[in-house]
């Protein structure tokens, strides 16, 4: 079968590889649609904990092609999306609902071969059947939305909270919809791009500002916001963003920074303003609620797909440079 293989950091090729025959408790999925994630670019550049060679791809939907032994319920031809999480289920973190910190953590497309290929084998427990009115593109969007759902679990937003969000990319646009749905009152969004801010307005931002207008954001809430979220992952932005956190406010780091980045933080503010600083690491048993959110059309991800490309074109996309105005790019296999 055809697959995109990252042979080593900086070297991706399209090549013929062995068909992944499903083992016990596994099914092989014929892949239809795959989202490209920042993590895939990190794997391509050698900035992640992946072994090489590896087939990337962890945001995907497809059709069940072959079923291994000891797989109940499923039949070939069913349309599915797949939770890429490979939590061991046995370690102390898994046993205390912290699977995203599993001592034996793995994920399809990150530590084992993923979906940038014609076929991928997956544990049947990770499958979710997708209904006829859910497109392949939406099915491939459940995984990124599952990261947003986990962020919302971490945030515990209270109805009526006033929220400031930095970053209106594909993840930011989902966060806007999630924050609005969860009951934010004022929802202020900051980004460099006027086009992305226009979309933020459509999804429920109450106010939008370009990044050079932070003075106006300060005027709007001189004492700060109940919740501040960074979805840029840019250290200079984060340093600014935290200072907008109000009394007894929460700051959430959603965007992924380089692992060696540092910021300045005033510990007096942290003490004096009763702040809570939060992180949110990927997915933690949040794939099914994300699926339900899309199924019930509470969150619309379809307009977030800026472009659909071929597996062949994915190589130059990974190499870059990439258009910063693109939201999500998906691959049609």
For Zn ion, the binding residues (CB under 5 A) are 37, 39, 88, 91, 94, 102
Nearer to Zn ion, 259 or 264 (CB): 259
Backbone angles phi, psi at 11, to 5 degrees: -135, 100
d(CA 239, CA 225): 15
The gap from C-alpha 6 to its chain's centroid, in whole angstroms, comes to 21
Nearer to Zn ion, 85 or 245 (CB): 85
Nearer to Zn ion, 102 or 200 (CB): 102
**3-class DSSP assignment, residue 288:** helix
Q: Whole-number minimum distance, CB 88 to Zn ion, in Å?
A: 3
State how far the alpha carbon of 271 is from the alpha carbons of 248, 249, 253, 277, in Å.
10, 12, 19, 11
Q: Whole-number minimum distance, CB 16 to Zn ion, in Å?
A: 26
Q: Whole-number minimum distance, CB 159 to Zn ion, in Å?
A: 29
Nearer to Zn ion, 94 or 217 (CB): 94
**3-class DSSP assignment, residue 133:** coil
Backbone angles phi, psi at 165, to 5 degrees: -120, 130
**Nearest by Cα to 207 from 156, 168, 253, 256:** 168
Nearer to Zn ion, 37 or 67 (CB): 37
Q: Whole-number minimum distance, CB 233 to Zn ion, in Å?
A: 13
**Nearest by Cα to 174 from 153, 147, 197:** 147
Q: Whole-number minimum distance, CB 276 to Zn ion, in Å?
A: 26
Nearer to Zn ion, 256 or 265 (CB): 256
Q: Count Cβ atoms below 10 Å from residue 49 Cβ, excluding itself.
A: 10
Q: Whole-number minimum distance, CB 128 to Zn ion, in Å?
A: 16
């Amino acid at each position: 079968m055809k697959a995109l293989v990252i042979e080593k950091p900086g070297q991706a090729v399209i090549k013929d590889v062995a068909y992944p025959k499903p083992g016990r408790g596994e099914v092989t999925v014929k892949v239809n649609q795959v989202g490209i994630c920042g993590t895939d670019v990190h794997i391509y550049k050698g900035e992640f904990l992946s072994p090489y060679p590896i087939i990337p791809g962890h945001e995907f939907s497809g059709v069940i092609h072959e079923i291994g032994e000891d797989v109940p319920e499923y039949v070939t031809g069913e349309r599915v999306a797949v939770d890429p999480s490979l939590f061991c289920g046995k370690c102390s973190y898994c046993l205390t609902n912290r699977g995203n910190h599993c001592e034996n953590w793995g994920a399809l497309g990150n530590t084992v071969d993923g979906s940038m290929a014609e076929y991928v084998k997956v544990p049947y427990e990770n499958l979710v059947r997708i209904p006829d009115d859910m497109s392949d593109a939406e099915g491939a969007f459940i995984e990124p939305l599952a990261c947003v759902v986990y962020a919302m679990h971490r945030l515990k937003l209270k109805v009526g909270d006033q929220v400031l969000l930095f970053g209106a990319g594909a993840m930011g646009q989902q966060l806007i919809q999630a924050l609005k749905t969860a009951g934010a009152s004022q929802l202020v969004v900051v980004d460099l791009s006027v086009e992305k801010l226009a979309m933020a307005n459509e999804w429920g931002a109450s106010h939008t500002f370009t990044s050079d207008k932070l003075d106006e954001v300060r005027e709007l809430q001189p004492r700060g916001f109940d919740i501040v979220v960074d979805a840029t992952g840019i250290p200079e932005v984060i340093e600014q963003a935290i200072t907008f956190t109000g009394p007894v406010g929460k700051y959430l780091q959603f965007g992924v920074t380089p692992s060696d980045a540092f910021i300045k933080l005033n510990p007096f503010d942290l003490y004096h303003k009763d702040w809570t600083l939060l992180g949110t690491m990927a997915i933690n048993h949040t794939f099914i609620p994300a699926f339900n959110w899309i199924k019930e059309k509470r969150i619309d991800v379809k307009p977030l797909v800026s472009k659909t490309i071929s597996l062949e074109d994915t190589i130059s996309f990974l190499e870059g440079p990439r258009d910063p105005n693109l939201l999500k790019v998906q691959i049609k296999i």
